[in-house]
Amino acid sequence: MESEEIKLQIINEGTFSLAKGENVLSVLIRHNLFDVSHCGGHGTCGKCAVRIKSGAPLPKPGDRRRFTPKQLREGWRLACLAKPQQDCVVEATSLKKSDFIMDYSLLTGEMSFETCVSPAEGEETENVKETIVVGDLGTTTIVLLLVEPESGKVIDTFRAMNPQRKYGADVISRMEAALEGKDGELSEMVKGCAEEPVKRWIAQGYAPERIVLAGNTVMTHLFAGYDVSGLAKAPFTPVTTEPVMTQLCDIPCVLLPGISAFVGGDITAGILACREQMNIEHAETALLIDLGTNGELALMGKDGVLCTATAAGPAFEGGFAAQIPGSDVIAMAAELLEKGRMDETGLLAGPYFESGVPYGELTIRQEDIRNLQMAKAAVFAGIRILLEESGRRADEVQRVYLAGGFGYKLDVEAACKIGLIPDSWRERTIAVGNAALAGAYLYGKELSRQAGNGVVETEAVKKIKRNTKSINLAEREAFDAYYLQAMELKKKGI
C-alpha cells in the first residue's frame, strides 16, 4: 500500500514528514522555520517563495503570476500553494531566522539573534541555560521570544494575531469596548495569548527568570487591567507611565515604562535599542520611525529626545483588507506612479477609477490609495514638526531607523518616490527590524545582571524618560498645513 506520508528534505534544516494534500508552508511553520504568512496562505504576498530542487508539483495559477517561466522550470513555488505528491528536496530562502528580527546586529554591533528549533512538547531538555522572555504587545500582532540573556540567542519564537482584534483593529475601538465593560475580557485575551508560549516553554523544561514586555500605552493599560478612560479623552492622562510589575505563569513580568499617553513602552524600547546603534555609528542625531497601526516618531540627539505619534490607520499594518503588508502597499503605489496608472494627486487613471487596478489576485481601489495618502502625509507632517520643535535642519539628521516588520521590508526608494521619507534621506535610511523587541531584550539583559537587588528600571531607561519630551501634534497649528502639503504622492524635500 502506498504511503500517505511524503518526505520533505529542507536543505540545511533536516527531513520532515508531509501528509499528502498538505502544503509546504504548513510544515515550515510547524517546525518553527517560518513565521505566519502575511496573506494567510492565499498565495498573494509572495513571502514564502521556495525552490523545490526535486519532486516539485505542477505550478498553480498563483505561482505563474509570481514567477517567470524560467523560474518555474527551476522549481520556484510559493510554499503555501505547493502540495508535493512525492518526496522532494526544498531550498527555503525565506526561513524565519532570516526574516523576523534578523537585523538585530545593527542595534548592538556585537550579536545577532539566531533561531533554533525548540524541543517537542514533553521532550527532555539537557543543560538548560538561563533564559528570559521578551515580547512586543502589538496592536495587531503579539510576538514573544525565549532568549538566552547574555548571548542574545533566540531559542524559540511565538507570533500570533492579537485576539483583541475581535473588538476592532485600532486602540480607539478597544478603549470603547473597555469602557463598555469589556475591560476584563480584553485583559484576559492578551494575557492568555502571551501565556500560551510561556506555558509550552516551561513544559519543555525551560525556566525563564523574568518576562519583559513592550507595548503602546493603551496595550499596556489593557494588559494590566487599568482604567483607560483617561486615555480616551483630553487631556489624555494615563494611569501610569512607570514600569508595571505583574506576573505571568507565576514568573515576574515587567512592562516597559512609557513616555506619555501617545508614546508607550514600545517606543521607549525602540529608543533604547537605537541609542545603542547611534553609539556604534558615532551618530549625534537620528530619527526612529516605527510604522504600524500608529506611526511613532522619535528624534534623538545628544541633548534629548522629541517624540510624537500619528494615526496611520490600516495603510501600514496591511492594506487592501489586510491581505498584504504595508511595505508592499508602498511598492505598489510607487509602481502605479511609474507606469502612469495613477497621478501625483493619488487619482487612479480613467480606466481604473471605478474598477480599480488588478494586482495579482488583488484589486487596488481608490479608497486604498486615499488611506495610504492620509497615513504618509501624517508621518511626513510629524517629521516636519519634530524638526522645527528641535531647531534642527533635515540635513543634520545623520541616520533614519525604520523599525518594525514593516520597516524591515520597506523599499526605501519607493518610500521616497511617494514622499513618505524626504528624498534627501534615502542614503542615510536603514531598517533595524523590531526595535521594540530589541530594546526589551536589552532591558531584560540589564535586569538579569542586576538580579536580586529589586531593580525594575534600568539607568538607561531612566535617562531616556528624563530627557524625552512628547509632542501632541493636534496642538501644533502648523500640522494641518503640513499634512495637506504632504498629500501628494511625489518626491519631497523638507
Beta strands in 87-237 (DSSP E): 88-92, 132-137, 141-147, 154-161, 211-215
Inter-residue contact 276 to 109 (CB < 8 Å): yes
Looking at residue 266, what is its pLDDT? 93
CATH 1.20.120 fits 282-437+471-485, yes or no: no
Inter-residue contact 418 to 330 (CB < 8 Å): yes
- Give the whole-angstrom CA distance, residue 415 versus residue 494: 15
Domain ranges of the chain: 5-97, 102-267, 282-437+471-485
Inter-residue contact 440 to 213 (CB < 8 Å): yes
The tens-digit pLDDT sequence of the chain (494 residues) is: 345 789 999 988 889 998 888 999 888 877 777 755 555 567 766 668 889 999 999 999 888 877 777 788 889 998 989 999 999 999 876 554 333 333 333 333 333 333 333 444 444 455 557 899 999 998 888 999 999 888 888 888 888 889 998 888 788 899 999 999 999 999 999 999 999 999 999 999 999 999 999 999 999 999 999 999 999 988 899 999 999 999 999 999 999 999 998 889 999 999 999 998 888 888 999 999 988 767 889 999 988 999 998 876 555 554 444 455 566 778 888 999 999 999 999 999 988 888 888 876 667 888 888 888 998 899 999 999 999 999 999 999 999 998 865 555 677 888 899 998 898 998 898 877 788 998 999 999 888 887 654 557 788 899 999 999 999 898 899 999 999 999 999 988 77
Largest CA distance in the chain: 77
Inter-residue contact 50 to 92 (CB < 8 Å): yes
Q: One-letter amino acid identity for 92?
A: A
CATH 3.30.1180.20 fits 102-267, yes or no: no
116: cell is: 533554533
Q: Residue 412: name the closest of 426, 396, 433 by CA.
A: 426
- Give the whole-angstrom CA distance, residue 134 versus residue 210: 9
> Domain 5-97 belongs to what architecture?
Roll (3.10)
Judge whether 102-267 and 282-437+471-485 match in fold: yes
- Give the whole-angstrom CA distance, residue 400 versus residue 423: 12
Cell 510604522 found at: 291
Q: Residue 217: name the closest of 209, 226, 208 by CA.
A: 226
Inter-residue contact 494 to 387 (CB < 8 Å): yes
- Give the whole-angstrom CA distance, residue 153 versus residue 347: 48
Looking at residue 101, what is its pLDDT? 35
- Give the whole-angstrom CA distance, residue 287 versus residue 299: 4
Looking at residue 192, what is its pLDDT? 95
Looking at residue 371, what is its pLDDT? 85
- Give the whole-angstrom CA distance, residue 78 versus residue 423: 34
Q: Residue 440: name the closest of 197, 244, 269 by CA.
A: 269
Looking at residue 446, what is its pLDDT? 87
- 3-class DSSP assignment, residue 124: coil
